[in-house]
Amino acid sequence: MLYLVHMDVHIPDTVPAEQAAEIKAREKAYSQELQRAGVWVHLWRVVGEYANYSVFDVESNDQLHEVLSNLPLFPFMTITVTPLAQHPSAIR
């Protein structure tokens, strides 16, 4: 099942810079692991924002929830999920 996910990140100023850097490093490692596994199919930055649009390929709503809630930046995110279906005019 494919999902379009918009993630908007807001790390509070009260989080020390060193801690924020450590969280971001764990986030990068986890996201790259998911990309290599074929779960995180696309990752696109939103220009001028600390946000992204991503496409995930998972087996269920529950698996997507697990993947997203395990993101180290999850506590600092606003997430919008849109399920995707094949378009009848698509050639791929």
pLDDT tens, position by position, 12-41: 999 999 999 999 999 999 999 999 999 999
User: pTM for the complete prediction?
Assistant: 0.93
Q: What is the pLDDT of residues 58-75, one digit of tens each?
A: 999 999 999 999 999 999
Residue 37 tokens, joined: 């596994």
Amino acid at 64: L
Q: Between β-strands 51-57 and 77-84, what pairing exists: parallel, antiparallel or unpaired?
A: unpaired
Q: Is the dihedral of CA 45, 46, 50, 55 positive or negative?
A: negative
Domain 2-84 sits in which CATH superfamily? Answer: Dimeric alpha+beta barrel (3.30.70.1060)
Radius of gyration of the chain (CA): 14
The domain locations on the chain are 2-84
Closest CA to 50 of 89, 78, 29: 78
Which residues make Cβ contacts (< 8 Å) with residue 11, sequence separation at least 6? 20, 23, 73, 76
